[in-house]
Structure 1
Amino acid sequence: MKKLSIAFGVVALSLSGCASIMSGRTQTMTFESTPELSDITIFNKAGKKVHVGQAPVTVNLKRSAGFFVPERYTVVFEKEGYEKKTINVSSHVNGWYVGNILLGGLIGLLIVDPATGAMYSLSTKETNIVLNALNKGDINVDAQSLTIVSTTELPKDVLDKAKPIPMN
């Protein structure tokens, strides 16, 4: 009975893909921005929008664009008053895919993992993006704004120029 269980396990492993079992066809990625609530648009390698929303956001992205074709994404962050920033998400071979070679999973190596896309992992150098504020001359401000700053944080020369707001 024990030999039958071992044989069944070996056959099951050889007919499946290691990366498909361990990783799946999609990968969860989280994107954040400073300031928060920037608009985020994710495009796949074909230029199709796959997600539109606001950061912070967690999305499930497909690992491949087809049989033996890795997917890649362009992520665009935008917020009024800030510079637009774009990052790229690339694909590389998933470490679990190599498990097919070690465990003799020829079907997983040539069919299952490439078909599901699990043979790839997505990565990017940055997922927490800092958007740079535009110069006030670069943006059109129609409304007045109020900035509150602690007087203990201001240099003395700036504090000397400050004017109190009259309370009525």
Structure 2
Amino acid sequence: MNYNSSKKTEELDSIYLEYKYEIDNDLSYKRKDFFDQELRKFMSDSFKITLGGPIQTILTGSLGFIFLIGRREKIRKYQIKLIDWLAVFLSLFWLREVFNLVHSISFKVLFQDASYFGGDEKYISEYLKLNSGTIPVILGLIGLGISVYVIFKILPRDVQLPFIISGFIGGITGFFLWFQILGPILIP
């Protein structure tokens, strides 16, 4: 998620450039109250936008998971139905949190990227003045727990391995299709 804040950014940048010394040294200057108020609002708005992606994912995944928990006895008794497969799909939105954590750690280890943690979850941690890995690790572990439970406790045994293999292949294919081919075309 993102929004266009270029007008507000330009305004704050121009004030900063004009009063750089005073701002950097926490001194008084002509537009200090305005700048401080607008900067706090800008940071708050940016934080709310950043929260949107993970919150949407968590809510979607949690609704699917709660639905599956309520239906697990019926699934065992009558087999998995189309509505249950939809709930499995929704519950596995939690895999975003697992993927983001594994992806960022992998990039740090393999490519010496700047941080072990990335994505919106890192920025949420930093905004809340937590260690940058706090939210990514917590959400990654919750996502892993929910995903493992759904795959190994909800899905019938005979579909678990094909589901994992096809999910892995489909996830990697989908990631590259979206970020390398379709995404840049549809959302330039």
Higher percent of residues as helix: 2
Instruction: Report the TM-score, using the length of structure 2 for normalisation.
Output: 0.25
Higher percent of residues as strand: 1
Instruction: Report the TM-score, using the length of structure 1 for normalisation.
Output: 0.27
Greater Rg by CA: 1
Larger RCO of the pair (alpha carbons < 8 Å, separation 6+): 1
